[in-house]
Amino acid sequence: MSQAKLSGIFTPNIVCLDNSGNIHEGETRRYVDWLIDKGVHGLYPNGSTGEFTRFTAEERVRIIEIIADQVNGRVPILAGAAEANTRETIRACERYYDLGATAVAIVSPFYYQIGPEAVYTYFKEIADNSPIDVTLYNIPLFASPIDVDTVSRLADDCERIIGIKDSSGDIPQMMRMIAQVRPNRPDFSFMTGWDPVLVPMMWVGADGGTNASSGVVPEITGKIFQLASTGQWELARDLQYRLLRLFDAMIFRSEFPEGFREAIKLRGFNTGTGRQPQGPELTAKLQVLSQDLEKMLRDEGFMQEAQTSFQSHPTTAGIDIEAIVRGVMAELARRGLAQ
């Protein structure tokens, strides 16, 4: 029933918007092609980074239509299918199955905090009625947590549930899940959604990650995955540290996910302005973020080949992320690790 086990780096991609705040289809398609060309292992539209709550249900379907059409089978698509109730979520599962998604990711109930038994029955209802494979999405910051015993029960009782994306960043939690689930379900995927712990999560047995940073520097997250997968932990750890400060700046120095949206602009894409109103104060924070990113990237040695200005995007305070990536990849090539 299930397809190949989900593994690697899946990009929770941002949707490009036009000047009116509507979906910019052409730019979104161009961004999808770029991500695939840069080696991401899969795409994860309609996730948190993709601001699924800020689009209508019809727009969420349209996003999957665009991405599935553009991907055209080149990489798997893990489509975010979280809706406000089981009925609408199952309907989204049916629609995304028809559009050719590989699997769906479903967050546990949000707004109402519910206990483990209610979380179990929620996912059981969906799994029993979904035509498409389901990945659990644990993000306790925003939704009811999915504890280890509940994951284990669902894995045992629902063949349709094939994995979990865990964005808690809790390494012992991941270890307990793997220890409890993997012996009975070796096909079950464990993906981390918290970028700063990609390497340690893989070290304890995770299969990869759904990482927002991969939408900005897919070359680097892909290299981390390759190094970790081949046991080159010291080199993987080095890149993890070099990625950490970039991630921290993007996520903590602005309203999420505007820091990522701003950084993707530096890679040459017109991502537009997010639908969350910014205002002068938040806009000023984004300008400060650009300045801090530039200094941080210089301090970390990422800008070995960077120019001091980036004329095509004058609002980005001179940060050339394309050159940053070239610098990192050049260093990897010097070490004989660029393949």
Active site residues: 137, 165
CA distance 133 to 151: 15
Rounded to 5 degrees, what are φ and ψ at 75? -140, 155
Question: Could you tell me the two tokens for 230?
Answer: 């081949």
CA distance 202 to 228: 7
- Please give the DSSP secondary-structure letter assigned to residue 270: -
Residue 316 class from Cβ within 10 Å (0-12 exposed, 13-18 middle, 19+ buried)? buried
CA distances from 165 to 48, 72, 139, 140, 337 (A): 12, 24, 8, 12, 29
Residues 6+ apart with CB under 8 A from 24: 15, 16, 17, 18, 270, 272
CA distance 109 to 111: 7
Three-state secondary structure along 68-84? HHHHCCCCCEEEECCCC
Q: What is the arrangement of strands in the sheet containing 103-107, beginning at the earlier edge strand?
A: 42-43, 8-11, 208-210, 189-192, 161-166, 133-138, 103-107, 78-80
In angstroms, how far is the first alpha carbon of the chain from the final one? 34
Of 213, 191, 215, 216, the C-alpha closest to 202 is 191
Cβ(212)–Cβ(195) under 8 Å?
A: yes
CA distances from 153 to 123, 143, 184 (A): 11, 19, 11
CA distance 307 to 196: 28
Residues in the chain: 339
